[in-house]
Chain A
Amino acid sequence: MSDGSNKTLPEMTGAEALVRLLEARGVDVIFGYPGGANLPIYDALRGSTIKHILTRHEQGSVHMAEGYARVKGQAGVCLATSGPGVTNLVTGLADAYLDSIPVVALTGQIPRSMIGTDAFQEVDAFNITMPVCKHNELVKKETELVKAIDGAFYIANSGRKGPVLLDFPSDLLAETHHYDLEERCHLPGYQPTTAGNIGQIKKALKAIDQAERPLVLLGGGVSNSMAVEEFLSFVRKANIPVVRTLMATGVMSSDDPLFMGMIGTHGNGLANQMVNSQADLIMIVGAKLSNRSLMRPDLFTKGSKLIQIDIDPAEIGKTIQVDIPMVGDIRETLREVNNRIEQKPIRVDKPLWCEKKHVKSKTMLAKANEAEAMEWVFDRLSEIDQKLHVTTDVGRHQVWANHHMINPKHLPLITSGGLGTMGFGLPAAIGAWFADQETSVVNITGDGSFMMNMQEFIVAVEHQIPLTVIIINDFRLSMIRELQDSKYGQRHIAHDFNRDVDFSLLAQGMGGVGRTVFKLDDIKPALEEAIASKVPNILCIDLERLFRLSKINLVEAS
């Protein structure tokens, strides 16, 4: 009785096979945390060319893989152990799932013979992670290991990208078998559509040509499918104004004459007016249209013809009815669209139908005093004219960064849009640096978000990453307070931390550089110094004092 293995193939442990397969797929870095069940993988990593980054918490590892993937354009890899290791990954997997970021998560599982016995550090990783992954598998047989790993990278990186988790029992990793590393996955049920339907493209072009006030809604899918060039070429050829969602910051420069701003809850008035009442045709390009983007789906669809390009057929008409759907890869579809426009130009001699005004308007929420001071920080940061990868966390600073970060060298922002994960920004910045070590990284965060994953700052110190963490510190959860102001009749609870933290001292305690800024004039030199130092810095902006002092300054100056 053969066990299905070919004795002529090289004999190695499951973990060795795994590491060889990762190397063959160009993986150069893994973010991980060891534990009993994944130690065989660590043992095999010792002789590998792959660099392992020891995080301080598993959640950090998956956000680092996300930041890496956002910069590199292909899957980041994270590694965790069974039980608490995998439950700590869940938030990051859900984040990657909602923002369509390719991540391959590898987890150790207890030995096959013990599965289902409530063994030490046993959780049902397969079922826990199923609803937050594009795909996942518990690899139970040696004969499935190679195919599963090949499939994981293929699935994560193709179609609508997303996280894939593979769970490996530790005995399978530790025992030897004759592995055929050249095996490839066979996925008859997975054939992501790539080329857009020609008939639909023709229909869409005709509709755009005939429309009086056409508008393009730009989503995160455009940069995910590396279609920025094709997109810009299309809107310029057709001379159509553009609005965007949160996930598409920086695809178009904010001073571009065609760019009209961001839509949604935290968008600006002009952009929302355009989608809700002015446009008679809206072409949606790679946007999932959640409740945060579509404030009034009834107005959105009323009186305007809708065209939608998306690689995921299930996104077509998910929240609104669409007139002309185009299922396909955005890059390939727009290339075809551009070719056709070149042969037969559309909208010839039609001027831009709208006027660009107050694009730099505030968010829709009531403007708080410190908000102005926050703007100063972002304006100064925008003045730093060098390439940077900028990540944000979640809260008021995220919204402001989205409106005020205008230097194209700092964009697109790496941010958690779908899940809204506080604590995303710091590890994501570290991951981004590992993908592009020539470029310094900046994490804009609030005190609340920073404290959710601040342990990862030590990783930046360990690897001497040119990272500047800008903490917009107001000693409270100010977005919560804004919501309590606007929706709960100013009944405040649980927004105030009641305890100041000396973040600069904290930075020093972790081995980095820390400083606190509370004067307007100090912002720029502090930023410049921190970024130029190329070492891990924490720059704590004391928002309240900054605003108070500046008012005094203003009075004194007058």
Chain B
Amino acid sequence: MSVANDQRHVIAMEVEDKPGVLTRISSLFSRRGFNVESLTVGHTHKPGISRFTVVVLGEEKELEQIRKQSQKLIHVLKTCHVVDKDTLTEFELEQIGMKVKHGVMRELAIVKVHYDEQSSRPINHIVERFSARMLHWSGYDLLLEFSGTEEKIDAVFEELENVTVLESVRSGKIAMSVEPIKAV
């Protein structure tokens, strides 16, 4: 795998919620030589169906191969290679080809910061600027929730360098294609 052409790609999958399906998918990525940057799993509105969003580094061509290999897993129902609607131009999308779908992507972060008189100003500023939700106040520590694009969360973490962060967690991306689907 050539490092120079490596790009970040997102593969979204709908899978049957069967024992071991997480291992099947993650081990497939690792044995075909892909590094998973983030992997998010959760239930969907359909009972027994889960949704995976996998962010990987790799070349376009290799990504198509790993998507096809994932699609072959018996418990995988649908796979789709999604690119961020906001970061690619129409021309770039055309270059990548038809199989890739335009999508929106979001990430969630929860951060525990030390809150006192001194840090109140910069924290209030961050809360306001990034429309954070305040989840819990212990009297000393404040739990904040941020959501948005990866770039926004990156910017949040940059700003947070000015205050005392005690703990933080990012959910990893979730993605959905914007293309219309006919109701079945």
Contacts and interface: CB of A to CB of B under 8 A. Distances in A.
Contact of B27 (A131, A312, A314, A318): A131
Interface string B11-42: 00001100110011001100100000000000
Interface stretch (A103-111, A187-195, A481-489): A187-195
Given A138-B19, A188-B16, A189-B15, A130 B27 contact: yes
A155 B73 CA distance: 11
B27 to A, nearest CB: 6
B136 interface: no
B74 A314 contact: no
User: What are the nearest 5 A-B pairs in CB distance?
Assistant: A314-B68, A189-B77, A135-B74, A190-B74, A314-B69
| Chain B CB within 10 Å, residue with most, of A126, A187, A314 | A314
Nearest to B49: A188
B177 interface: no
A325 to B, nearest CB: 11
Contact of A188 (B61, B65, B77): B77
Interface in A173-224: 187-190
Contact of A127 (B23, B28, B61, B74): B23
Given A130-B20, A151-B74, 11 more contacts: A127-B20, A130-B24, A131-B28, A135-B74, A140-B19, A188-B16, A313-B71, A314-B65, A314-B72, A316-B68, A317-B65
B19 A189 contact: no
A188 B71 CA distance: 12
Contacts of B72: 312-314
B10 interface: no
A131 B31 contact: yes
Contacts of B74: 135, 151, 155, 187, 189-190
B19 to A, nearest CB: 7
Contacts of A187: 74
Interface residues of B, number: 21
Given A131-B27, A189-B15, A189-B76, A318 B65 contact: yes
A351 to B, nearest CB: 38
The interface residues of chain B, by DSSP majority, are classed as helix
Interface of A: 126-127, 130-131, 135, 138, 140, 151, 155, 187-190, 312-314, 316-318, 321
A45 B84 CA distance: 57
Nearest to A192: B72
Contacts of B27: 127, 130-131
A321 B61 CA distance: 9
A189 B48 CA distance: 13
B75 interface: yes
Contacts of A151: 74
A321 B59 CA distance: 14
A316 B72 CA distance: 13
Nearest to B76: A189
Contacts of B15: 189
Contact of B16 (A126, A138, A189): A189
A130 B23 contact: yes
A126 B69 contact: no
B16 A313 contact: no
Contacts of A313: 68, 71-72
A304 B75 CA distance: 38
A321 B71 CA distance: 20
A294 to B, nearest CB: 16
Interface in B50-93: 61, 64-65, 68-69, 71-77
A189 B73 contact: yes
A47 to B, nearest CB: 32
B48 to A, nearest CB: 10
8 contacts: A130-B20, A130-B23, A188-B77, A189-B75, A189-B76, A314-B68, A318-B65, A321-B61
A248 B20 CA distance: 36
A369 B2 CA distance: 44
Contacts of A126: 20
Nearest to B77: A189
Contacts of B69: 314
Contacts of A130: 20, 23-24, 27
Nearest to A319: B65
Nearest to B24: A130
Contacts of B20: 126-127, 130, 138
A445 to B, nearest CB: 31
Contacts of B65: 314, 317-318
A137 to B, nearest CB: 8
A438 to B, nearest CB: 36
Contacts of B19: 138, 140
Nearest to A321: B61
A318 B19 CA distance: 29
Contacts of B68: 313-314, 316
A188 B78 CA distance: 10
Nearest to B79: A189
A530 B15 CA distance: 55
A321 B64 CA distance: 12
Most A CB within 10 A of own CB, among B24, B28, B74: B74
Contacts of A190: 74
A314 B23 CA distance: 20
Contacts of A155: 74
Nearest to A314: B68
Contacts of B75: 189
Nearest to A140: B19
Interface string B107-121: 000000000000000
A126 B75 CA distance: 15
B114 to A, nearest CB: 41
A160 to B, nearest CB: 8
Contacts of B24: 130
Question: Which among B31, B61, B72, B75 has the highest number of chain A CB atoms within 10 Å?
Answer: B72
B71 to A, nearest CB: 7
